[in-house]
Amino acid sequence: MKMTTPLSKNRSIHFSPGSIIMGKWHQKQYQIIKPLGYGARGTVFLANSEKGRVALKFGFDNSGVTSEVNVLNKFSKVQGEPLGPSLYDVDDWVTKKGTYSFYAMEYINGIPLMDCIKVRGFEWAIVFLLQLLKDLGRLHEAGWVFGDLKPDNLVVTGPPLKIRWLDVGGTTMLGRSIKEYTEFFDRGYWGFGTRKAEPSYDLFSATMIIVNAADGYQLKKGQHPEKQLTQHILQHKKLAPYSEVLIKALYGKYATAEDMRKALLPKLNETHTKERRNTNVKPIRRKNKKKEWKGPMILASVILLAYVLYVTLFIM
Amino acid sequence: MKKGRLKQVLLITDGCSNQGEDPSAVAALAKEQGIAVNVIGVVNEDQTADGGIQEVEDIALAGGGISQIVQTKQLSQTVQMVTRQAMTQTIQGVINQELQQILGDQDSMDDLPPEKRGQVMEVVDELGETVNLEVCILVDTSASMEKKLPTVHEALLDLSISLNSRMGSNQFCLYTFPGKRKPIDKLLSWTPKIDSISNVFSKLASGGITPTGPALKEALKSFDKRPRRDFVEDDDAFIEES
Ligand SMILES: Nc1ncnc2c1ncn2[C@@H]1O[C@H](COP(=O)(O)OP(=O)(O)OP(=O)(O)O)[C@@H](O)[C@H]1O
């Protein structure tokens, strides 16, 4: 065991495209396609394997890889749609430079959550929150708390659009202390409670993701964070319709993700009716859109006419 | 396996010591006594690598601990991360010794197949969560640190939140150096929570010398001053079942 590995000496891991990786224990082969991302604890590559494309994660240290693999193994035991990427293989790659621990997992080809919300609009943020709450509920029931829930660890796949988890390194057993967190999404940082792994910890982070999505930036913590956050939510045009639920979630008032989901659903329907009314206020845009549609409409009618003629001529 | 508690020194400094014995030698001494020395080097946003950073790494290396260079604004998260990683490292070290006895020539966790490694890691996690922890915090308050002290204060409160979310018990004590007359001044004797230090930092007079070695040496003595009654728990086995 390396007893002293100063964290500051973050070795970066580079493999060039085409490199062949061969596992020491299971003898499986992988060919590197390209790097997917560089994290604080390792580097992830896209690679080809006998099973097709996979994501390979090489960790800076052995214990990090082992912890993540443990979590992914636990995830795979939860029934239903997979929580997080599926795990395929765990192994060591022995090179002249040293031994790298790695694991192969499902390649999740998605777009970053925030990019997706920016393009599609904030109403999708609430949809993703509902999806997230459903998955969190299943995770909590299995005895785990996600911990480091933040936009960086979430991508959207589809269509149909579905939010998925990437980095599971912060997942912690219920009742223990949160292994890993990011300040903005951390309940302790904002003074709203402990870092004990309980469902309400994840619900706090989920709420902060929505706050982050509504703002498009990360609010700076002020002198009175508690008041600051609640006021911010109450006064924010996008957040106000959900303020009751969001603020309750910040204070840990929901015992389960399902409780929060149930409370959120009726709010969603309320705001939708409002928005439908609003669309009438923008007749100009609609007209423009109609104009754009005229061209293709004419074209479509012509094709249809031709088709009818064709059918009548040949079949009759 | 019988082990009382994990003992750590957390040294927060911004650079070169300039008085007294070599801090690395003192750190090596600490390691021999089963105390890990972790060092956080706080640098300014514009500061680049220099001798101070080397010293930070050397002390941790000699002290069997972890070091991290960090900019002032990221301090909170780093403090908790270093403390946690150092715990894991120490526990892994202990478990590796056990493994050596069991496995003989297969000498460490790295030599186990990945499946077995996972099981060992679960034990490490479990211990990290439940073991009792003693952290002696030693803060450099020499002149160049003055502006960073409010952030240090915040980071320590934050550490208290993190560690007190664990299942195991915690004890903290807090010293600053250079002291008024001695190498170090005591701000807080052993206590389970750090909340009580509000504003102490602001009253500190900062001086020009940085006697890191002597300060570290004094800080090590704090582990002997633990209240007697607490040692009753020490008879608990480190690993009950594994
Ligand atoms: N299964 C996957 N499919 C596709 N891309 C992935 C997958 N896993 C990770 N990535 C990409 O690699 C990046 C780094 O991975 P990851 O977040 O796991 O690393 P990390 O070391 O845990 O980083 P950090 O803790 O700093 O977030 C991710 O941000 C993501 O872009």
Asked whether residue A77 is domain-assigned, the answer is yes
Look up the CATH number of the domain holding residue A154.
1.10.510.10
For chain B, say whether A218 makes contact (Cβ under 8 Å): no
State the best of A4, A58, A103, A198 to mutate against chain B, taking most chain B CBs within 10 Å: A4
Same domain, A268 and A206: yes
Look up the CATH number of the domain holding residue A54.
3.30.200.20
Same domain, A123 and A168: yes
Q: SS3 breakdown of chain A: % helix, strand, coil, rounded to 5?
A: 45, 20, 35
For B91, list phi and psi in degrees, rounded to 5. Answer: -60, -40
* Angle of the A113-120 helix axis to the A123-141 helix axis, nearest 10: 150
Reference A146, options A203, A224, A208; nearest CA is A203
Across the interface, do A177 and B77 touch by the CB < 8 Å criterion?
A: no
Tens-digit pLDDT profile for residues B63-94: 988 888 888 777 877 887 888 778 777 777 77
| Boundary (domain end) residue, out of A67, A91, A106 | A106
Asked whether residue A9 is domain-assigned, the answer is no
Asked whether residue A14 is domain-assigned, the answer is no
Residue A1: pLDDT band by 50, 70, 90 thresholds?
A: very low
Tens-digit pLDDT profile for residues B105-164: 656 667 788 888 888 888 888 888 888 889 999 998 888 788 888 888 888 888 888 888
Q: Which residues span the domain enclosing A51? A: 20-106
| Boundary (domain end) residue, out of A54, A87, A106 | A106
Across the interface, do B92 and A73 touch by the CB < 8 Å criterion?
A: no
Same domain, A41 and A156: no
Asked whether residue A2 is domain-assigned, the answer is no
C-alpha span between A41 and B227 (Å, rounded) = 39
Say which range, A58-62, A284-288, B181-185, has the weakest mean pLDDT.
Answer: A284-288
The domain limits of chain B are 5-230
Q: Where is A160: in which H helix or E strand?
A: none
Active-site residue flag, A91: no
In chain A, residues with a C-beta closer than 8 Å to the C-beta of B81 are: 7
Asked whether residue A13 is domain-assigned, the answer is no
Spelled out in words, what is the top-level CATH class assigned to the domain B5-230? alpha beta
A129 vs B66, higher pLDDT: A129
For chain A, say whether B89 makes contact (Cβ under 8 Å): yes
Instruction: Report chain B's mean pLDDT, rounded to a whole number.
Output: 78
Across the interface, do A62 and B109 touch by the CB < 8 Å criterion?
A: yes
Could you give the percent of chain B with pLDDT greater than 90?
9
* Cβ(B9)–Cβ(B138) below 8 Å: yes
From A148, A167, A186, A259, the catalytic residue: A148
C-alpha span between B215 and B211 (Å, rounded) = 6
Q: How many helices (H) and strands (E) in chain B? A: 6, 6
Same domain, A187 and A307: yes
Same domain, A201 and A308: yes
Ligand 1 pocket mutation pick from A10, A34, A41, A44 by most atoms within 8 angstroms of CB: A44
Asked whether residue A179 is domain-assigned, the answer is yes
When divided into structural domains, chain A yields a total of: 2
Asked whether residue A93 is domain-assigned, the answer is yes
* Ligand 1 centroid distance, CA of A146 (Å): 15
- Where residue A52 falls (left for φ over 0; alpha for ψ -120 to 50; beta otherwise) is left
Tens-digit pLDDT profile for residues B21-48: 899 999 999 999 989 999 988 887 666 6
Asked whether residue A15 is domain-assigned, the answer is no
C-alpha span between A235 and A45 (Å, rounded) = 43
Tens-digit pLDDT profile for residues A52-101: 999 999 988 777 888 899 889 888 888 788 888 999 999 999 888 888 89
Tens-digit pLDDT profile for residues A164-182: 998 888 899 999 999 888 9
